């Protein structure tokens, strides 16, 4: 079911409108985004639209591994919209009973890493070969058990093997 929520700026003007649903419902809104296929395949999708109903940011969760994908249009970055759509998506994940959410972030994307960490994501492993950091946000007790298990597993397996598994999973979940 699609729902929406309007947030307001300093002077009471509508800032953005949050639309939530899934990729089937909202996929057309993000068809021009660089991550369109990943977002359209989301089972949980939150899209922020501006006052002209143009999509400016989107965050989705896809696959059975609960992979989070976040994109903010370049002209709208640095305004807190990424955090806003991320928080709304994590809230929706909790309401839908997800135990955890995972993501990968480029190791040189310090701003994104900081936002994800602030919003509850924990680092699992740095895949040196791909220069990515895998993170997980445990949303409940079961999620914490998954985090502890994966953290221990990542510490014992070779980094090159983990990078290969990451690539294999990514290809099958897009």
Residue 7: what pLDDT?
46
Residue 173: what pLDDT?
66
Same domain, 32 and 90: yes
Same domain, 129 and 93: no
Give the domain range for residue 119: 99-174
Same domain, 84 and 128: no
**CA–CA gap between residue 172 and residue 174 (Å, rounded):** 6
Of 97, 125, 149, the one marking the end of a domain is 97
Residue 15: what pLDDT?
57
Of 97, 119, 143, the one marking the end of a domain is 97
**What 3-state DSSP class applies to 78?**
coil
Spans of the chain below 70 pLDDT = 1-16, 172-174
Whole-model pTM: value is: 0.83
Same domain, 124 and 113: yes
Structurally, the chain folds into a number of domains equal to 2
Residue 19: what pLDDT?
86
Residue 165: what pLDDT?
82
Residue 174: what pLDDT?
59
**CA–CA gap between residue 116 and residue 104 (Å, rounded):** 10
């Amino acid at each position: 079911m699609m729902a929406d929520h309007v947030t307001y700026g300093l002077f009471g003007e509508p800032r953005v409108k949050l639309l939530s649903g899934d990729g089937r419902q909202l996929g057309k809104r993000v068809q021009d985004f660089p991550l369109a296929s990943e977002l359209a395949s989301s089972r949980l999708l939150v899209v922020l639209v501006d006052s002209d109903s143009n999509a400016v940011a989107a965050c989705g969760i896809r696959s059975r591994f609960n992979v989070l994908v976040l994109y903010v249009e370049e002209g709208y970055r640095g305004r807190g919209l990424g955090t806003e759509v991320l928080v709304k998506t994590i809230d929706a994940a909790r309401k839908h009973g997800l135990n955890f959410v995972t993501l990968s972030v480029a190791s040189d994307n310090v701003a994104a890493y900081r936002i994800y960490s602030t919003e509850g994501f924990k680092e699992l492993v740095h895949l040196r070969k791909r220069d990515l950091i895998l993170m997980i946000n445990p949303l409940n007790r079961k999620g914490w058990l998954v985090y502890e298990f994966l953290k221990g597993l990542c510490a014992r397996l070779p980094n090159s093997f983990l990078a290969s598994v990451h690539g294999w999973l990514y290809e099958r979940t897009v």
